[in-house]
Structure 1
């Protein structure tokens, strides 16, 4: 049996257009619609379910028992229809009863039918109904048939809305939305605190007409909109503010690549061919993109799809002539922006004087928009569930990015507590700023090094603002994570040189690529799926296997450091031979440059990261070969305890101040000292004053931490008697107390150590 062609899909739309233009009542129109679709798709059943008072009601059908109309009802998430509406997704089954969510409704008479295909009817990004077809013969519907159903569902959304059949419960929910205060939790993306009025980004355009009168006219409108959009993106990427070398430029270049993607414009043209207006065609392709985003687990690929979604919103505004986003209308007061998600270019359009914070329904730590927000200094939290249901336009919001919390319509006590915390935070920052120019010297005169971690060119500016002694860890993979394609050697070299120039005379430790596994790149993939990516094909393992990748990076580092002393560190070294192989690759590139009379660094210091516990057992073999050692506390902790720290049930179970961790680090420090190799601690552990105090008590003299932690940790160091702490730590580790954290906190309190 043949499914409908693209032309027959257009015939369905033509038939629907006539139905919509008729004077019939809503029920009569839908009765005609299901017959038109069933005839065109040669399907024995076609049904429309509408979301009414919070449940999905069978509203019209051909093929099922007519007595079931307005009788059969399914809750959101119940049965196949409820699953489609809840997930805003497509189901295509050759045997409906095989699906785990199948729910039999005897009054429908559907036991005669095996195959099932259903698509959501979407309005304002939410499902307001489901369109389903069924057939007695077990078979999966062809892709072209599913495409036709989705296109028809878009037109149905217009018919349903115009007929006033949209869920009455949703209107009631809008009216009944709580006016009392609410506290919403989210993912901490960019730290900071902010107060402002809720403003919705509002990138979506409500499409009024879906069926085209003149296809060529619609095509011309899309071509014109594409030209205008590309001009806007070209102007943005060439603007002096965003045209400088660094991550902003690379992000916007990725954005530009999507704007010129011919595949995207071709799909929109195909949707117009089916009979849709320009706006509906863009929306149709965008809906497909959103459904794909829900199916993608890879956050990097999701981010690429979000960039495309962002551009689709821009194109939709242009073609409709309605350019009124919150950014383009201008912010009138201090604002907390609320959005499902944002593209980097959209965020950059906002007035930074008025934009105080951002709340996203989605978002991730590695998203392009997060990187841009961090560079702008705008606090941001993401993955806030039901944010657009809980927040009204114009609500007062208190955003605490440090805690990942937003207070909606705060009560007077909550507002007062927030202001007190904000004042204390500002006062504390002022106090930390006073330490900026002071050395990290303990009360008993020991000089420690408080370095900062970085990964972007803009991060280097924090050296000046925080008073950090150095960049103890520059994560070179960040450049790869924000790029749509593998960064060329020249781009890598420019970044590394810019970082060295900006750091001036302060030391910078470049860590070679730590990608793969849980930081997979879409353009650099393994053929095998990994069950435990954090312990898989990543970091130095990947770089040694893909030697061309490492050789390119090595040359970029050597060229950037020409005439200087540079520091190169290899991540996730498990055995000494891996360090030897990595160093040999770098030295091979150095000799290649020298042979061509190229200037190279006058000295290269080689280091290794100890994250894999196995390396501790062969440190006596490795230490004579290296210039410095860095303990990566984040990975080391999860490897020692066999516990994924990102797992919600395990994240708080294993404490950094566990005797097992502390004794392990002490052993490493002692062995390194015997070989005269300086050892540093990198990661979140060193960025917390109490944990940092414990590390100092183990003999650590160098910490590399997040820039925001430099002030608090430096304050702790300057209030500390190191010799007294060393003796106390020895006593504690000889006979560990039941609660090591409490014991250390008590000692800090007794000795007036500033741990906050």
Structure 2
């Protein structure tokens, strides 16, 4: 075998170059290809399957029965070949028959072959075929062999495209056949409503040639493109218009780090060494990135990979000299941008006056583009499926992120309904804004403390916009999630001081970092035993922080120094037993003594609290409450733990109601001993941000809510219309003898008593 992937691929590509240039029929070329690959990899079988009319057809083979050519056909997802094409993934098996998707085809005569490796043949990001090798002896193919196969598959894509063997229907994004109106649902990323014409962000860069004539010339082309791209990124980051000092600054710094990543440049160089053109080498590395993305369960790591893909697209356009993005062409009218995903820098290139909204096929709440879009004030709807099938360039779109949908080609009635909702929203926002300086006091005189949840420096502005009493939950992990490396203590301290300065006299409750589980960080080592099937219930939050003592010590010092001369409120997440709280508090106190010993200024008071998310903590509250200054109930995690239901599971997300007797009785069990111990209890979670649910919490004795800024107005309106004493009597009766539908019962009571719950 060749000693490297590049050498192995180069040996094959040199021979394939002549095949591609020959004036022979396509079938003869494919027959030559399987022989060349089989000989180079010393593999007894090499086969090419092509996607034709929706099925994968055996087009050429060395080693399988010739009679099976054009006879053996597999549906997408059927057998190993169909699985590779459907998932656009690589398989490498020492025993093919042991794989659950293995499907035996007797006409091929493959029963004597044990090992199997296959890679997808990709055209325009979709699998149009499969290149597979097999061997009689059970063995896994070496990494260099798989790398060589993947490189050859790229060249094979060009060959079959030039031979007219690719069904255009499988790769082209054609205009939707229907011109009827359609509503497509998505996931709320950045709230808002907008209307405009559909504009697709990413024009397709078509690679015309994959095999290099002069390797050094291709290398110089890539170097020049890298220099140009880096200059562009530096210029763009320095010209961002939405201010400085926010988390978006850290996002762009991370993005720039990827642009200067030598490992990425080295991988492209290695692909050129194998004999690929500059364009093909960039696309080859990009394909590998996409395959890795499909294998990554961690959404945060996927977001980092999206940044790298964004940069790959930019580099590919520069080196090819082909048309740029819609941003370079300019927006001619109010537009809704459509993309599979976006990097943060690409969003910044658009004209803010014309860009009204964004629709993403992917996207997440912690993605870099989401953070930048929030800073820009651009509404974003994510996880929208089939956009290229259902939307055409220039289509009229009505984007309603609040309603989690986009309407395509709306009719007059839809336009009118959208305009009316937009106007109602403005009117309601104006009405809620009018309540900004009005205290949240119930009709019978009970003052409720309304605070907001935050996680970004910019979120603190919501205090003045909403008139909230303070920040009841500042999620410190966001700074860790958007950073490429562990944030230094000085950087953490600067963020915490900025937040306290912006809050002024209003309290801020800092939750110590909640990472791990489904919020794994790429720069923290993860042992194999930490790979978890249920990350929400795993090694995360305080559990991880107590083990990674250095991480928590740095955060403790940053918080203590940032709060010098003020009150510091610290809350520990996911406390399961009192000893965990004791250890965390002791760690903070040790850091306080360390700072004091060096004569530095300290907070005049440190108040310690815990989040009750794990139900077990309710059983030992009598032991914990004497040590606490405050307690917060995290209803999001608490609900899924109580019901043993993953809140991210689509079939379970809406199944268990916050207004069920079990949830409300549990909260009451927590509130009563806390009140007896004179420990204030707050709720910080989505439950408190919904007027009807918030009403129920007040009825249980909760008088502190920490909610999203958008929920402050509606919840305050509910509070001011509520006779709390009368409602508590009604709720107690309901929990004593629960009705069949408690939610409906509470809604009826609110309507009958004029409580604003809409």
Is this a same-fold pair by TM over 0.5? yes
| Contact 2:123/2:171 (<8 A) preserved | no
Match of 1:33 in 2: 33
Residues in 1 aligned to 2:504 and 2:498: alpha-carbon distance in whole angstroms: 10
Q: TM-score, normalised by structure 1?
A: 0.95
Question: Deviation digits for residues 468-502 of structure 1, max 9, x if unmatched?
Answer: 22111101111111112111100100000111111
Structure 2 residue 507 is matched with structure 1 residue 507: yes
Q: 1:171 to 1:215 in 2, by over 3 A?
A: closer
Match of 1:588 in 2: 590
Match of 2:752 in 1: 750
Residues in 2 aligned to 1:511 and 1:442: alpha-carbon distance in whole angstroms: 29
Gaps of 5+ in 1: none
Q: 1:2 to 1:546 in 2, by over 3 A?
A: closer
Residues in 1 aligned to 2:541 and 2:114: alpha-carbon distance in whole angstroms: 49
Per-residue deviation, 1:686: 0.3
Question: 552, 559, 582: which is aligned to 2:554?
Answer: 552
Q: 1:668 to 1:38 in 2, by over 3 A?
A: closer
Gaps of 5+ in 2: none
Per-residue deviation, 1:227: 1.4
RMSD between superposed Cα atoms in Å: 2.2
Residues in 1 aligned to 2:733 and 2:523: alpha-carbon distance in whole angstroms: 52
Match of 1:342 in 2: 342
Of 500-509 and 187-196, deviating more is: 187-196
Per-residue deviation, 1:168: 4.4
Match of 2:374 in 1: 374
| Aligned 1:385-396 pairs, distance under 5 A | 385-396=385-396
Corresponding residue pairs, total: 756
Per-residue deviation, 1:173: 8.0
Question: Deviation digits for residues 334-381 of structure 1, max 9, x if unmatched?
Answer: 222211111122222222222222222222222222222222222222
Residues in 1 aligned to 2:84 and 2:534: alpha-carbon distance in whole angstroms: 31
Match of 2:165 in 1: 165
Question: Deviation digits for residues 89-123 of structure 1, max 9, x if unmatched?
Answer: 11222333232222233333333433322211111
Residues in 2 aligned to 1:704 and 1:715: alpha-carbon distance in whole angstroms: 16
| Contact 1:52/1:169 (<8 A) preserved | no
Q: TM-score, normalised by structure 2?
A: 0.95
| Aligned 1:317-716 pairs, distance under 5 A | 317-322=317-322, 324-527=324-527, 528=529, 529-716=531-718
Residues in 2 aligned to 1:155 and 1:682: alpha-carbon distance in whole angstroms: 55
Residues in 2 aligned to 1:60 and 1:535: alpha-carbon distance in whole angstroms: 50
Q: 1:164 to 1:434 in 2, by over 3 A?
A: same
Q: 1:177 to 1:71 in 2, by over 3 A?
A: farther
| Contact 1:53/1:168 (<8 A) preserved | no
| Contact 2:334/2:355 (<8 A) preserved | yes
Per-residue deviation, 1:323: 5.2
Residues in 1 aligned to 2:352 and 2:176: alpha-carbon distance in whole angstroms: 34
Per-residue deviation, 1:542: 2.1
Residues in 2 aligned to 1:474 and 1:119: alpha-carbon distance in whole angstroms: 46
Residues in 2 aligned to 1:4 and 1:63: alpha-carbon distance in whole angstroms: 25
Match of 1:280 in 2: 280
Residues in 2 aligned to 1:452 and 1:175: alpha-carbon distance in whole angstroms: 45
Per-residue deviation, 1:233: 2.3
| Aligned 1:33-182 pairs, distance under 5 A | 33-170=33-170, 174=174, 177-182=177-182
Question: Deviation digits for residues 150-172 of structure 1, max 9, x if unmatched?
Answer: 11111121122222221144379
Per-residue deviation, 1:700: 1.4
| Contact 1:634/1:684 (<8 A) preserved | yes
Residues in 1 aligned to 2:276 and 2:193: alpha-carbon distance in whole angstroms: 45
Per-residue deviation, 1:237: 3.5
Q: 1:91 to 1:547 in 2, by over 3 A?
A: closer
Residues in 2 aligned to 1:173 and 1:352: alpha-carbon distance in whole angstroms: 28
Question: Deviation digits for residues 199-225 of structure 1, max 9, x if unmatched?
Answer: 111164211111111111110011111
Residues in 2 aligned to 1:514 and 1:530: alpha-carbon distance in whole angstroms: 16
| Contact 1:218/1:272 (<8 A) preserved | yes
Of 27-36 and 143-152, deviating more is: 27-36
Per-residue deviation, 1:191: 2.3
| Aligned 1:2-41 pairs, distance under 5 A | 6-41=6-41
Of 237-246 and 631-640, deviating more is: 237-246
SS at match of 1:36: helix
Q: 1:4 to 1:587 in 2, by over 3 A?
A: closer
| Contact 1:205/1:317 (<8 A) preserved | yes
Q: 1:115 to 1:730 in 2, by over 3 A?
A: closer
SS at match of 1:402: coil
| Contact 1:565/1:603 (<8 A) preserved | yes
Per-residue deviation, 1:284: 0.4
| Contact 2:116/2:135 (<8 A) preserved | yes
Residues in 1 aligned to 2:557 and 2:173: alpha-carbon distance in whole angstroms: 60
Residues in 1 aligned to 2:621 and 2:94: alpha-carbon distance in whole angstroms: 59
Per-residue deviation, 1:580: 2.6
Of 144-153 and 381-390, deviating more is: 381-390
| Contact 1:200/1:339 (<8 A) preserved | yes
Residues in 1 aligned to 2:454 and 2:715: alpha-carbon distance in whole angstroms: 17
SS at match of 1:174: coil
Question: Deviation digits for residues 252-307 of structure 1, max 9, x if unmatched?
Answer: 22112212221111111111011111010000011011111111112222222111
Of 156-165 and 219-228, deviating more is: 156-165
Residues in 1 aligned to 2:337 and 2:491: alpha-carbon distance in whole angstroms: 33
Match of 1:206 in 2: 206
Per-residue deviation, 1:176: 6.4
Residues in 2 aligned to 1:290 and 1:567: alpha-carbon distance in whole angstroms: 43
Match of 1:297 in 2: 297
Residues in 2 aligned to 1:436 and 1:707: alpha-carbon distance in whole angstroms: 11
Structure 2 residue 269 is matched with structure 1 residue 263: no
Residues in 1 aligned to 2:173 and 2:521: alpha-carbon distance in whole angstroms: 42
